[in-house]
Amino acid sequence: MGPTPEFAKDLKVADLLLPQSRGWNEDLINTLLPCYKEEILCIVPGSFDTEDCLAWLPQMTGEYSVKTGYYAARDRAPSDLIPAVNNNFNWISEVWGGNFAPKLKIFLWKAVQGALPVGENLAIRGIVHQATCIHCGQAETTLHIFFLYEFAQEVWRLAPFRNQFTSGTLTNIKAGIKILNVAVSLPPTGIGAGTLAPWIMWSIWMSRNNKIFNNRRFNVQETLNLASIRGHGNGKRLKRRHRSAP
């Protein structure tokens, strides 16, 4: 095809139409877009000289309403709504049924659903232009903040678990949560039958926010101490609740 001619650099689709008949200008198309001529000529131009408008196809009138949107969403196949990676993630056992504070369950749900205000999610919503980690300059994703960032990896390496947890090889947030839910916390954390992992994730998140809003970051030991203190306090509350239950 060669380079675009100077006169054609600002042309629009409308310029390829004959002004009187509303048909295609075949000579011009053959000059500018010979490789796409057959495909273009297969498109039948509209017969009315009006501006395009949006139409809601599920409704005969073309007008969208919340009601028709609801029914369209309800009729979609479950496979369209739930990504394949969710199929082996049990929300009840991994999050909602966990033996830890309700606020942590909502926190984990947000982490898995991509609802935490990390750089990547804020950039997708157009809130910020840069989605880089404030610590290392890499892309700030949920996975990066909690598991891949060097600070997070060091926190997990020193976490008081029976088996050391290596987070740097994880490829998604769900895999990390599933592994940590069965991690056995060593004494004297005092969290009972629960796991310290959600509190560590919470403390990593607090460390990140403290750096952003107060320009001070907790070190690794402070992060682990904070997680232990909060986990211990939650363990005491759970024990009192069990004792008072009939």
Q: Per residue in 113-168, pLDDT tens?
A: 999 999 999 988 888 777 888 878 889 999 999 999 999 999 999 999 888 999 99
> Which of 4-17 are b and which e, b meaning 16 or more Cβ less than 10 Å from the residue's Cβ?
eeeeeeeeeeeebb
Residue 149: predicted pLDDT: 92
Q: How many CA atoms lie within 13 A of 227 on its CB side?
A: 28
CA atoms within 13 Å, Cβ hemisphere of 206: 17
For residue 167, give the 3-state DSSP assignment: coil
Peptide bond into 188 cis (omega under 30): yes
Spatial CA neighbour of 106 closest among 96, 94, 92, 93: 96
Average pLDDT, the chain: 83
Q: Please count the other Cβ atoms lying within 10 Å of the Cβ belonging to residue 135.
A: 17
pLDDT in tens, 170-194: 999 999 999 998 888 887 655 555 6
Output DSSP code: residue 18: -
For residue 224, pLDDT over 50 is answered with: yes
Nearest to 45 by CA among 61, 22, 65: 22
Distance CA 103, CA 26 (A): 65
Q: What is the mean pLDDT of residues 93-116?
A: 91
Contact 56, 68 (CB under 8 A): yes
Q: pLDDT band at residue 86, thresholds of 50, 70 and 90?
A: very low
Instruction: Name the residue type at position 14.
Output: A
Which residue type is seen at 246?
Answer: P
**Tokens linked to 50:** 């009006």
On the question of pLDDT at 218 being above 70, the answer is: yes
Cα dihedral across residues 104, 84, 180, 145: positive or negative: negative
Three-state SS at 108: helix
Distance CA 205, CA 107 (A): 10
